[in-house]
């Protein structure tokens, strides 16, 4: 009878199912009560009335209590519709045929099939109902194509079309509503991702404003803002270097369990770093993947800008040193040599007095020292190993890593000191930072001051425990070593500290022109 009409079954919606259940129940029981009432009023034998009312009532009760999920299955629905047609046709056949009071009850299977199984099944049910009614009319000697028969058949088809199309419209509206809800949820997720990325960009902008844009501060900002939206147990940010990955920021306990999820921080085809996130046993971050990837974009841009700016600064310093070295070698050097030659010729003049010769000899010695200083300066400027004090300070930040103290670098460096001087200053800075990390239990270390090729002052300040400088702990010779290094370049180291208020190490130097 009815083909497998699964393509016609529309998506279920709880709201529609509840409405249809109510409509079907009201229609079915009204048709039943109406049929019983008319049968009771008509000249129908009580026994026949009892049988017809009992069978139709039993069918209505079964359809009423049947689970919704079972009714929606195609083969179950078709079977229920067929049984309903059979029950209604049998009741009509024993209660006056085309004049039966149960003629309206024959529309119940059509209402059910149209509303549950779809348009095609509903039409097929209506046609079968009409054909069954015609068969009963013929078997009882009534007109197969009489007015009542045709009107009943048209009514069944009309009910089928009305219910099927009404259900389709309601279901399509519900589907569209579900799509809008899904789109709204997706938009909310996009807004969350954009808000997280915006917060990170704002944090990076604030860091850039206060001259703290370095890999450590950027990594800390990324983990802090990501933690506000993603429930990870532990996070680690690393930056790519010549020797692989260097950890620059950490958040969360080190004893986090499981294998971390690893995300590459990249820009185009260039790998700039890595983000590792550990999940907690209670929560999963699997559904936060898009948000995490959205956060990686500003992080990659920040890392790329840091690397780019430092490379530009390094090249600018190299080019400037090369230019200065070239000018010294090509202009000032020959000029000094020419002055020395002129002094030598004046000293050879016999008319020059003895006092004048001594004066010229002193000038000749000064010129010779200047020529030697120029040569040493040119050699230093041409040195292939170039690391400014600022670069050295940032490399100390990499060595500290995380969760060590935060390192703030506010060093104004115009020109890097000569290699011999710079190496001692770097060693002093490294020793001061090392002491702050390992002994002072500091949470923040600041390297600040002014540096130039000829002179400078650098201060290393921490907020650690502090100590009494007059009471040097036994076996600790770091301060003595720093003072010896400073003395070797004609500089000095001073110490300002007290218990409970941190420590400041100040190194001052001035290159002696002689």
For the chain, the domains span 6-179, 210-301, 313-381, 389-510
pLDDT level of residue 506 (50, 70, 90 thresholds):
very high
CATH, domain range 210-301: 3.30.450.40
| pLDDT at position 201 over 60 | no
| pLDDT at position 452 over 90 | no
pLDDT value at position 512?
Answer: 67
pLDDT value at position 459?
Answer: 93
pLDDT value at position 380?
Answer: 63
pLDDT level of residue 206 (50, 70, 90 thresholds):
low
pLDDT, tens digit, 9 for 90 and up, residues 104-160: 888 888 888 887 777 788 788 888 888 888 888 888 887 777 777 777 777 777 777
Rounded to the nearest 10°, the torsion over CA 124, 128, 130, 132 is 180
Q: Give percent above pLDDT 70 in the chain.
A: 76
Q: Give percent above pLDDT 90 in the chain.
A: 3
pLDDT value at position 11?
Answer: 44
Q: Give exposure, 336-363, as e/b (b: 16+ Cβ within 10 Å).
A: beebbeebeebbeeeeeeeeeeeebeeb
Residue at token pair 């259900």: 167
Q: What is the mean pLDDT of residues 489-509?
A: 90
Average pLDDT, the chain: 77
pLDDT, tens digit, 9 for 90 and up, residues 34-92: 888 887 777 778 888 888 888 888 888 888 888 877 777 888 878 888 888 888 888 88
pLDDT value at position 281?
Answer: 77
| pLDDT at position 266 over 90 | no
Fold of 389-510: Heat Shock Protein 90 (3.30.565)
Q: What is the mean pLDDT of residues 161-188?
A: 73
CB 60 within 8 A of CB 35: no
The reply to whether the predicted model has a pTM over 0.85 is no
pLDDT, tens digit, 9 for 90 and up, residues 309-361: 666 666 766 676 677 767 666 666 677 677 767 777 776 765 666 667 777 77
Q: Which of 16-30, 182-196, 288-302, 363-377 has the lowest mean pLDDT?
A: 182-196
Q: How far apart are CA 143 and CA 137, in angstroms?
A: 6
- Which tokens go with 260? 């971390």
pLDDT value at position 401?
Answer: 61
Contacts of 3 (CB under 8 A, 6+ apart): 120, 124
pLDDT level of residue 508 (50, 70, 90 thresholds):
very high
The gap between the terminal CA atoms of the chain, to the nearest Å, is 114
Measured in degrees and rounded to the nearest 5, phi and psi for residue 122 equal: -65, -40
SS3 per-residue string spanning 130-175: HHHHHHHHHHCCCCCCCHHHHHHHHHHHHHHHHHHHHHHHHHHHHH
CB 132 within 8 A of CB 85: yes
pLDDT level of residue 210 (50, 70, 90 thresholds):
very low
């Amino acid at each position: 009878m009815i083909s497998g009409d699964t393509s016609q079954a529309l998506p279920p919606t709880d709201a529609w199912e509840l409405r249809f259940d109510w409509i079907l129940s009201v229609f079915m029981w009204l048709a039943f009560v109406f049929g019983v009432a008319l049968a009771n009023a008509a000249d129908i034998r009580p026994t026949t009335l009892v049988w017809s009312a009992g069978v139709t009532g039993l069918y209505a009760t079964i359809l009423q209590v049947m689970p919704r999920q079972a009714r929606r299955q195609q083969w179950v629905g078709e079977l229920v519709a067929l049984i309903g047609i059979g029950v209604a046709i049998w009741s009509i056949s024993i209660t006056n045929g085309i004049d039966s009071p149960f003629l309206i009850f024959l529309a119940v299977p059509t209402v059910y099939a149209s509303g549950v199984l779809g348009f095609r099944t509903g039409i097929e049910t209506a046609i079968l109902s009409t054909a069954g009614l015609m068969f009963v009319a013929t078997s009882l000697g009534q007109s197969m194509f009489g007015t009542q028969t045709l009107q009943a058949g048209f009514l069944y088809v009309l009910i089928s079309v009305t219910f099927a199309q009404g259900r389709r419209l309601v279901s399509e509206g519900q589907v569209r509503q579900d799509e809008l809800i899904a789109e709204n949820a997706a938009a909310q997720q996009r807004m969350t991702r954009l808000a997280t990325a915006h917060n990170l960009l704002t944090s990076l902008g604030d860091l850039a404003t206060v001259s703290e844009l370095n890999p450590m501060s950027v990594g800390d900002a990324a983990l802090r803002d990501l933690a506000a939206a993603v429930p990870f147990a532990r996070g680690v940010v690393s930056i790519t270097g010549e020797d692989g990955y260097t950890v620059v920021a950490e958040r969360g306990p080190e004893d986090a369990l499981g294998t971390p999820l690893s995300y590459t921080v990249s820009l185009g085809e260039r790998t700039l770093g890595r983000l590792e996130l550990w999940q907690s046993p209670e929560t999963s971050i699997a559904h936060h993947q898009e948000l995490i990837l959205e956060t990686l974009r500003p992080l990659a841009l920040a890392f790329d800008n840091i690397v780019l700016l430092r490379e530009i600064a390094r090249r600018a310093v190299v080019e400037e040193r090369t230019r200065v070295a070239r000018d010294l070698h090509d202009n000032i050097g020959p000029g000094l040599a020419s002055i020395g030659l002129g002094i030598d010729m004046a000293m050879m003049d016999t008319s020059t007095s003895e006092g004048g010769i001594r004066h010229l000899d002193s000038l000749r010695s000064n010129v010779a020292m200047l020529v030697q200083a120029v040569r040493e300066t040119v050699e230093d400027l041409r040195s292939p190993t170039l690391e400014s004090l600022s670069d050295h300070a940032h490399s100390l930040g990499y060595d500290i890593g995380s969760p060590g103290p935060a390192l703030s670098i506010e060093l104004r460096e115009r020109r890097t000191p000569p290699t011999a001087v710079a190496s001692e200053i770097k060693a002093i800075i490294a020793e001061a930072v090392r002491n702050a990390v390992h002994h002072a239990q500091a949470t923040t270390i600041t390297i600040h001051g002014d540096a130039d090729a000829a002179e400078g002052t650098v201060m290393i300040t921490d907020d650690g425990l502090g100590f009494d400088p007059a009471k040097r702990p036994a076996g600790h010779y770091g301060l003595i070593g720093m003072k010896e290094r400073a003395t070797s370049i004609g500089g000095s180291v001073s110490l300002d500290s007290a218990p409970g208020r941190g420590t400041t190490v100040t190194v001052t130097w001035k290159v002696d022109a002689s």
